[in-house]
Structure formats: C-alpha cells, structure tokens
Structure 1
Amino acid sequence: MPHVPGHKDVKYLNKDFSSFRDGLIEFAKTYFPNTYNDFNESDPGMMFIEMASYVGDTLSYYMDEQFKESMLSFAEEKKTIYEIAQGYGYKPRQASPATVTLDVFQTVPANPVAVVNEQRQPNEDYCLTIPAGMQVTSTNGTIFRTTGDVIFRDSSSLSPRPQDIFEVDDNQNITKWLLKKQVKAVSGTVTTDYKVFGAAERYKRIALANSPVLEIISVTDSDGNSWYEVPFLAQDTVYADFDNNTTNSPDL
C-alpha cells in the first residue's frame, strides 16, 4: 500500500516480511537443527519459509491498518472517521453543499419628511423582508437557496445596509435609493418526501428518496403535528425561534 505523506505509520505488531522470515529461520535453527539446515535462497525449503513469511506480513499489515483506523487521530478512511465521530456524539455532515454570499438589491422611494444633511433618506415603509428559502439560479443552472432572511429595514453594524442614490428629480432632490443587503446561500433544492407508517416499531428506519440529503427542514404528520429531532427521547422541551412582533411581544 502506498504511504500518504504527512500521515504517521502506526504499527501494532511492528512485523514485516523480513522479520517474519528471519524469525522462522532462527526457529528452524533452534528446534530443528538436524532436520533442516540449508537456508540457501535456491533451496526448496526456503520457498515454504518465505510463503509463510508472506502470509504473516499480509496479516500483520491488515492488523496494523485495523488498529490505526480505530483511532480518530490516525484514521484515514472517510467512513471510519464518520463512525468514530458519531460515537463521540458529533454529527458530521455526510455531504457539504457549495456556498455563496449573495448581494440583494432593492430600490425604495425617498422620504421627503426624513432629511439628514439636506438629503432625503430612504422611506423604510417600502423596505422588503425576503424570508429564508429564496431560490436563485447561477449561470450554469445550479440552484442556490438562501439560509437567512433578507431584511432591508435592518441597518446596523451586525447587518450593514449600504445605500446609493438611484434617482434624482430636476431639482437634484433624491427620489429613489438603491439599498443593498448580503445573505448566505447554499446549493440545493427543497423536496418533500411522504412516508406511510403502519403499526409502531422500535427504532423504525426509513430511507429517503433523494440523496445526498443536506438537512431535514421539517417533519409533519397527517394531523399537522410537527416533530423535532432531539439528542435523547426523554427530552420533553424543544426550543424554537420566533420573530419578535407585536403579536407575541405586546410591549414592542
């Protein structure tokens, strides 16, 4: 097997063909001095010694590989690394999508009442909120889906909103602004998979039709109940995100 540069060799037995061969020769000299004592390369007896050494070398190699793959620090097989990580409680992704940062623009009218430094400011009553899940297509046909909301009203150090003059009237008064927001997007499409469950089964497993699956967005039964993934089945509380609005926060 070729050795991958930068990867440390881990030897459990520290045995190879030469060491097995030398060991068998010494064994024969010690315990069978009168039965076999011609260790010349051309002697037929050496063929059996070298064949046994080859078998030992092969078994030693696979034992070393199994021992190395059992340790996360030295494992090289992708499947082994995933299984060890899952054993430690990690949830490694089985597939990683392409990611991109999108520039999203909107034109809004200027507010003739809100004036700063003799400039009419953007009228934020016209600012859009684009929910996460907006789909865009690249020039080569790849579909990307946004992972966060695009809130043009929001302008802060954490979520900046660059703005440029888009249109002025004959008196050079600003009539429209061009607003810009950035949002992360990942490649992939959202699909729905329907499954029929019969009688209750312990540790029921199902296979989804599409592969690879990047994430499970939601699970809903025929009665409209939402189901959530939890670290353990005894967990009785699930924390969900909700927008801050006047409905759930009257003090706003």
Structure 2
Amino acid sequence: MADEQKKILPIDYTHREYESIRDDLMGIVERFYPDTLQDFSEGSFGSMMLDAVAYVGDQLSFYLDYNVNECFLDTAYQYDNVVRHGRILGYKAQGRPSTYGEVSLFVMVPASSTGIGPDTVYIPILSKGTTFTSGNGLAYILTENVDFSLPTNTTIVAQVNEDTGAPTWYAIKAPGTVVSGRLGKQSIKVNNYQRFLKLQLSAGNISEIISVTDTEGNEYYEVDYLAQDMVFKEIANKNFKNDNVPSILKPYLVSRKFTVERNRYGVYLQFGSGKSGETDVIADPGSVAMDVFGKDYVSSTTFDPTRLSKNYSLGYVPSNTILTITYRTTNPSNSNIGASQLNKVSSAKLKFADELSLNSGVMTTIMNSVEVTNDKPIIGAVSYPTSTEVKRRIYDTFPTQNRAVTQADYENLAYRMPAKYGSIARCSTQKDPDSLKRNLNMYIISSDNRGYLTETNSTIKNNLKMWLNHYRMINDTVDILDPYIINIGINFIIKPQLGADKFVVLNAATQALKKKYKTKFYIGEPLYISDIYQTLKGAKGVLDVTKVTITNPQGTNYSGTQININNNLSPDGSYLVTPKNAILELKYPEVDVKGKVQ
C-alpha cells in the first residue's frame, strides 16, 4: 500500500506545450525509474523518447485548442466553419460575386416599302440569354428581353440607295442589361425515394441556380428554407410598351422546392422529405391565420406569410427521374471590364412577330447584324469576403429577422443581396441630416477590374433599391449615393537596429504597411496613425519610428477629392477623421508608401 501511494504523482494539466510536457516527463522518469534509464543527453535514446512524447502532446494540445475555438463563431478562423455558424444564425452565403452593367445593342432592319422608317414586321426582340464576349474573353449574358420596336429607342439611317438616295436599311439602338458569366447544364439521375435528398453539382464557381426540372416537366423552385411555401414569380407584362415595366411579380405556392448550400467543396441542392401527393398546399391564408378548430383559446397568433402549408414534409423529393439543372458560372478571378471592351456577340437569340411569313434571307442578315458595346465600365466586387468580413455580416444578420429597422439592418441586407443582382465592396447607411422625415442615405462603392474603388453603376443601384423594398419599413425612404473617394499616401522615417542593413529594413517596413492596408477601408472609417507606428515598429530590424506623415496624392489616376490632412486630424494627432460620406483608399501602395532611414 505504501508503494502504491509512493507512485502517486499529481499531474499538472496546465502544462500543455512542448517544454513543460518534456520537463514533467523528465521528473517522472527520474523519480520512478532512476535505474532503468539514466542517459538523457542530447542524441541519446532517452532524449529521443522524451522529445517524441512531448512533441505528440504538444500537437494534441494545439489541435484540441484549435478545434474548440472553431466551435464558436467569435473564435472560428476557417472560412467554412464561419459560414456554417452563420447558417445556424440565419446567414445565407452568396455565390461567386457577379458584375452587372448596361450595354448598347444595335441591329439592322430593312426599310419599309415607302422608304420612311424601318419595316416594323422585321423589327426583332433580342431574348434574354443572349451571350456576349469581351476582348479578353470574359462572357456576359443578357438578363432581359430587348424590344427594338419601342419608341424610346434610337433609329438612324444605316444604308441608302446610291442612285436614289432613299434609305434601304435602318440601324436601331436599344439599351440592355448584362451579367457576367456563362450558362451551364448538368443532368443527374435520381433513383428511388430518399428522404432529404442532397445532390452535389460538379461545376465550380457557380453564382446562381437558374432552373431545376425533371423528365416529367415539373419545375423545382429555390427557397430560403424548406418550410417556405410561397415564392414570387416573374410574369411577362403584356402592357410593357405603355408602362415600361417588363415583368410583374406574383406570389406562387410551390410544393417542389429546394435550398442551395455552399462550401469550399462545391454547391449542393437540398430537398425535403415528402412524396408526391402528400403535400397539402393551402391557397387561402385566412384558413391558416387563425387555425383554432374547436378550441376556446388561442395558443399562437403568429403567422408566417411564406408558409401556408399544413404539411411538415418540407416539399416533394424527386425520385425515379432525371433532373436537369441549369446554372450560371462566373470567372473565378475577375469579371470587371472597362468601357467599350464588350464588343462581340457570341450567340444572338432573336424573335420575330411572324417568322413564317418573313423572308429567311433577310432574317439571317438581321441576325448577323447584331452588335454590342458598353459605354460605361461593367464593375462590381471581384472577390469573396474574408472570414472576418463574413463574421461581421453574420452578427448583423442575426437580429434583423428579415426586416430593416436599424442602420446595421440596412447594411447587412445590402451585403446579402444575391450575387446575381450585382455585388458591392463597401456600404454605409446614415440618417439624412437635411431631411425632416425618415429618409436614409445609403453610400455604396464597388471595385473595378483592377481592384481599385470606383462608383457603382446604376444597374446595381436599381437592383439594390428593389431588393431593399422587400425589407424596409413602409415609411422609410432610402437614397443610394456614391461616397467620395479620398486617396491617401503614407510617408515615414525609421531608425534601423544596430548592424542591420538599412535597405532590407526599409523594405520590410514598407511591405508590412502594404500588407496591413491591403484590405479596403470601410466608408467613414478613420485612419489610425497609431496603428501605422505599431506596424512599423513590429517590422523586422526597425528600432524606432521617427515620423509618420499622411498625404493626399492628386493626379490623373487619382479620384481628385482633396482633403486638408492637418484640419482633419484628431486633437491629439492619433488618427485622421474621415467624413461619413467618404472612404479612404491607398490606391497605389508601390508609389504612395514612401519611407526613409535615418
């Protein structure tokens, strides 16, 4: 009994790193096994065993800490884990960012028999899905039908009879909207019924799912969550020429539905658990709003307008069929282009009012005459948000409950706008100081094809306004504006450590600043000069930082917004105050970050 007590050694569980584990092991060996092994010198077998066990213990401690941290949103680091936490809190990860823009479309139409104006029977409609290609090979898709017969289009004489001078062909110019990407299809065979069927798509860089249909012609609809029964479908507006509204949104009850899940491995379609004939779709909300039957009390008065079904199977599951999935992919690196770079029609889809009665040769000439160009750059955000940015959006998502009330609600909804409608780099919402009513100013900014900040085009602004209308308070008004871009530069003077190569130290300090400010500023975010001092002091070989100066570079390639640096410094000079309607940008780090060594 005494021998057993003698061998009891309290274990210190706070010792978890390599050195402390090795020291504890050494103490155990020396105390309980003094005669078994005595050589623990460097290179000996005993030293090897202690090192190996301590190494394994250190590894286990590290991965235990790492995986525990990944279980919580505020300490998670991996992008997929952050998105998974966000999904639990109601955040929906978006697909590959897309760019939207406006284009000018041209088509040749023969003159009428009188020679005055184009022959209206030959004026076509360019269907959505028409594809275009830029000079550098990027693909774009027409998002809406373009009717060349509208009176708002521009018509000019393109060709005339050389003898009489009478017009023979007219050119019609019409505006259109395009989105970056290419259309793709995948067919997946589904066998017997399987509850909560989950299918993975093989393509990468998928921005959105266009449609899902089975061999019987049934269409499956994407919903935010499987309990949702109602979606809004776009119905063609027959009165389009009078009110200039191409489509009407109408509520539609669906029982065939799916959700889209994303991670780094791909895109998945998640279906429910119901069989055909089980789902009971209710067309009248009044029959479910107060479903109390014979009870003399009401247990719940809550009502979800998107959930009208009493069935909890969460929609039909496809079985014994082939699903055809149409999707849109986007260039993984960059989909932004400058003005006049979209100039090639890859595939034109034209429709005529009465094709059977028209001359096929003339229709072929019209099809071959379609041209396209973009007068303005087609831009948007070009990269996925970082895990830190996703965390910030998740924190804002959780309390919103799919409505916009606070400033954070509006900003979160703007970032959550589906990628197919366009994407923005930064957003800030503020109360309009000049308005006596509930007017809000939302400032948004985008990135061009080189990653520099630029004004967001009108197409994305219109899409964002329509997106916000579904969530904003009825008495709120939102103005979407462009913030001022303030270009900044950083000049600094440092002292190197004794014996250090001053050129190597200067390069290390410069690279440290470039790395720190690689991420774009937020709108209205100040520049903390104290952070610059801290970053420079942390660079290898830097002994001290003598001086830091902020500049406002001007020139052809800069924004042109001027700011008095000294007047906008804080009283203690520790940070640069940024106006609420402006955003800072370190545009050219190679030029705008300058350093000297004393």
TM-score under structure 2 length normalisation: 0.29
Q: Aligned partners of 1:191 and 1:33: how far apart in 2? A: 70
- 1:135 aligns with 131
- 2:116 aligns with none
Q: Aligned partners of 1:246 and 1:178: how far apart in 2? A: 22
Q: Give, as a single letter, the amino acid of the residue that structure 1 aligns with 2:213.
A: T
Q: Give, as a single letter, the amino acid of the residue that structure 2 aligns with 1:229.
A: E
Q: Give, as a single letter, the amino acid of the residue that structure 1 aligns with 2:219.
A: S
- Point out the structure with max Rg over C-alpha: 1
Out of 223, 227, 243, the position equivalent to 2:236 is: 243
TM-superposed CA distance for 1:74, in Å, is 4.7
Change (3 A) 1:86 1:127: farther
Aligned length: 217
Tell me, yes or no, if the aligned pair for 2:109 and 2:170 is still in contact at 8 Å.
yes
Q: Aligned partners of 2:39 and 2:66: how far apart in 1? A: 32
After superposition, give the CA deviation of every residue in 1:56-92 in whole Å (9 maximum; x if it has no partner): 1111222233233334455444443443343444332
Q: Aligned partners of 2:75 and 2:142: how far apart in 1? A: 37
More strand by share: 2
TM-superposed CA distance for 1:34, in Å, is 8.8
TM-superposed CA distance for 1:41, in Å, is 4.1
- Within a 5 Å distance, the mapping from 1:99-138 to structure 2 comes to 99=99, 101=101, 102-105=103-106, 130-138=126-134
TM-superposed CA distance for 1:100, in Å, is 6.1
Q: Are 2:192 and 1:195 aligned? A: no
Q: Aligned partners of 2:33 and 2:226: how far apart in 1? A: 71
- 1:57 aligns with 58
Out of 195, 203, 219, the position equivalent to 1:211 is: 203
- 1:226 aligns with 219
Q: Aligned partners of 2:213 and 2:40: how far apart in 1? A: 76
Secondary structure of 2:234's match? Answer: coil
- 1:28 aligns with 28
TM-score under structure 1 length normalisation: 0.57
Tell me, yes or no, if the aligned pair for 1:97 and 1:188 is still in contact at 8 Å.
no
Q: Aligned partners of 1:14 and 1:178: how far apart in 2? A: 79
After superposition, give the CA deviation of every residue in 1:75-126 in whole Å (9 maximum; x if it has no partner): 44444344334344433246x27646344345789xxxxxxxxxxxxxx999
Change (3 A) 1:148 1:88: farther
Q: Give, as a single letter, the amino acid of the residue that structure 2 aligns with 1:68.
A: N
Q: Aligned partners of 1:233 and 1:89: how far apart in 2? A: 13
Secondary structure of 1:218's match? Answer: strand
* Structure 2 unaligned blocks of 5 or more: 1-13, 111-119, 161-168, 246-598
Change (3 A) 1:191 1:51: closer
Tell me, yes or no, if the aligned pair for 2:142 and 2:176 is still in contact at 8 Å.
no
Change (3 A) 1:22 1:180: farther
Tell me, yes or no, if the aligned pair for 2:104 and 2:173 is still in contact at 8 Å.
no
Q: Aligned partners of 2:28 and 2:70: how far apart in 1? A: 35
Q: Aligned partners of 2:109 and 2:47: how far apart in 1? A: 90
- 1:6 aligns with none
* Structure 1 unaligned blocks of 5 or more: 1-12, 110-123, 156-160, 170-174
Q: Give, as a single letter, the amino acid of the residue that structure 2 aligns with 1:136.
A: F
After superposition, give the CA deviation of every residue in 1:36-69 in whole Å (9 maximum; x if it has no partner): 8979644754443332211111112222332333
